[in-house]
Homo-oligomer: A and B are copies of this chain.
């Protein structure tokens, strides 16, 4: 039995019950009508693109956010903040402080009014809708759902009879639609599709899904069917189309996704404009060579992440080895040579993306929040494709550091870029909003959909990838098993997993042993830990008794018959680790960083006499943990000793001082201040600040 089909049915049952109880209009709650019935997973079907004989019943699938209840002390408050604060800010900015919703209203009226804002602004509406959809699962909110429905009505009203939907061209002149690849028409369409799929998943309402299907059909008819060359100027639609394929079972969306991938790296001909590729060169848009020949990470980081996520999605279905090989090589290029310790990527603001290998400046680090969100997407797909936990290691690093840093603890301030060092300059702190507002809704939808990244399953195995307090139900061969994970992670590394089934059932639990718990900072050793002082090992107990376990692909394998209320416990020692970068990373020469569990630390001025740049540390071995808070966020701070160079008239003097490091994601919440992740262990020179 297919666990996705199970969980889908479970979900539909809940939806139908809600409809019956009057919570939802019954008509909207109905599943998609046959023959385009929603099909989760990769069930074989006549007329499908795939040679279904190759379908692998044991392939790994994520358990979806809709089937996971988050109870976690770390994440649940953040999800609630997204639901109650961040999404309200998104709504305020989208409806009142910008013309984003007005554009849909104007497009629906078709009376010649002017478009407000930027050509990609529609996508922010869709991304906010997607985040609302995920959030409604964790935090049902009739007012929020009513707002989403109101927006969806406006979106639907703006769609043209032929399925086209883009307020920019509807208002600026439809004669120019589909003439400039930069103009994000397919990018916006992709976000619409993602929102539609998510909203249908949560609410069972299909109005937005129908809009998305009509638009996807329009695009398919415009490009793939006549095979009119076209490249998505900002990738995104590829991964969205795979979602639509999985939901509807209609293989034209999979074919269209694959067709989009195949268009890249073939040049673009007469009669087409592609502004950004012209300005920055085709590498900016990953368009130098066909995707299957790509081996280097280039250009705009968000574009790259969305592309490779889509590639992995298609490859997971088509098993195209050329795609798989390209993904492997490009991934190594990212992780081995071009990733920050925070899991952030894209060091340069000039192209919002990649430069040359090992060019990882700290103050200048761009590390766009959206690129980190994309890293989470891509690494999830790579993990599912390969079953290798190294991808989850990268995912987790990015999630807890580079991505989470994009959202303030208060939920209503954002970073677009996430540098690893900062000088206290006016206006450099977190911002309320951005003209190009991709990041706030992006981090919102990631946090709100966290449930999708915790578990994966096939018919015989359950993978636990992230340790997040939560419940889910899986379909084992012998019947359903309920799982409940209890943990203070990442505050400590003790995780309890209660396995509940009606009767004893044989099933394999695969518990991820993070790279950091195996003394590997990152795959490829761009960053390395200093040797540990202690010798604590990863331990697993079942029902209180230590067990021996074997390890496969970075997972502890617990293959056993689970009795009702069995409790597995994994204990991941979390010593403070000193991190050093490869010598090739000039920016981190003679520096150390601190990490504990998945959390990367920084030194920020408010905890350190107003200065984060004058501290000379040794090797990090004198740091100790201290449980405390940053605002209302419970954290483990690290306290150690250092020499501070303190002004004395015309010189400075070394003053022994205590140093406090806090989790990187918590910085810039108390003020716009100095901060450093990488701390100097020697003085090459000093810069005098006035």
Contact = CB atoms under 8 A, between A and B. Distances in A.
Given A270-B112, A270-B173, A688 B118 contact: no
A591 B652 contact: no
Interface residues of A, number: 61
A278 B118 contact: yes
Contacts of A621: none
Given A361-B425, A652-B652, A613 B690 contact: no
Nearest to A586: B426
A652 B683 contact: yes
Interface stretch (A122-130, A479-487, A643-651): A643-651
A424 to B, nearest CB: 10
Contacts of A452: none
Given A270-B171, A278-B117, A685-B614, A589 B653 contact: no
Nearest to A423: B687
In this complex, the member of A119, A271, A680, A685 whose beta carbon has the largest number of chain B beta carbons within 10 angstroms is A685
Contacts of A645: 651-652, 686, 688
A176 B176 contact: yes
Contacts of A683: 647, 650-652, 688-690
Contact of A114 (B269, B281, B426): B269
A350 B652 CA distance: 36
A515 to B, nearest CB: 26
A576 to B, nearest CB: 21
Nearest to A172: B273
A661 interface: no
Interface in A402-455: 425-427, 435-436
A616 interface: yes
B589 A273 contact: no
Nearest to A686: B686
Interface in A248-270: 267-270
Contact of A680 (B279, B427, B436, B688): B688
Contact of A690 (B273, B611, B684): B684
A108 B614 CA distance: 62
A671 interface: no
Contacts of A171: 270
Contacts of A426: 359, 586
Nearest to A281: B435
Nearest to A270: B112
Contacts of A117: 278
A614 B688 contact: yes
A686 B689 CA distance: 5
The prevalent SS among residues of A at the interface is loop
Interface in A650-671: 650-654
Contacts of A112: 270
Contacts of A688: 613-616, 645, 680, 683, 686
Contacts of A113: 270
A459 to B, nearest CB: 50
Nearest to A169: B273
B684 A647 contact: yes
A591 B651 contact: no
A165 B589 CA distance: 53
A21 to B, nearest CB: 46
A682 interface: yes
Given A270-B114, A273-B176, A687 B689 contact: yes
A688 B678 CA distance: 11
Nearest to A613: B687
B681 A690 contact: yes
A275 interface: yes
A628 interface: no
A464 to B, nearest CB: 40
Contact of A273 (B173, B613, B651): B173
A293 interface: no
A267 B116 CA distance: 11
Interface in A467-504: none
A436 B270 contact: no
A179 interface: yes
Nearest to A683: B647
A23 interface: no
A683 B653 CA distance: 12
A615 to B, nearest CB: 7
A647 B176 contact: no
Nearest to A653: B651
A625 interface: no
Contact of A685 (B269, B588, B647, B653): B647
A171 B171 CA distance: 27
A280 interface: yes
B647 A651 contact: no
A273 B175 CA distance: 12
Contacts of A547: none
Interface in A271-327: 271-273, 275, 278-281
Given A278-B118, A279-B436, A643-B650, A271 B614 contact: no
Determine which residue in A114, A645, A647, A684 has the highest number of CB atoms from chain B within 10 A of its CB, and name it: A645
A45 B134 CA distance: 73
Nearest 8 A/B pairs, CB to CB: A590-B690, A651-B654, A613-B687, A647-B683, A686-B686, A687-B687, A680-B690, A680-B688
Interface of A: 112-114, 117-119, 171-173, 176, 179, 267-273, 275, 278-281, 349-350, 359, 361, 425-427, 435-436, 586, 588-591, 611, 613-616, 643, 645, 647, 650-654, 680-690
14 contacts: A112-B270, A114-B267, A173-B272, A359-B427, A591-B690, A611-B685, A614-B685, A616-B650, A616-B688, A647-B685, A651-B654, A683-B688, A686-B686, A687-B689
Given A651-B683, A680-B689, 20 more contacts: A112-B270, A114-B269, A176-B176, A176-B273, A275-B275, A280-B435, A361-B425, A589-B690, A614-B685, A614-B687, A645-B651, A645-B652, A650-B654, A650-B683, A651-B653, A652-B652, A680-B688, A684-B690, A686-B688, A686-B689
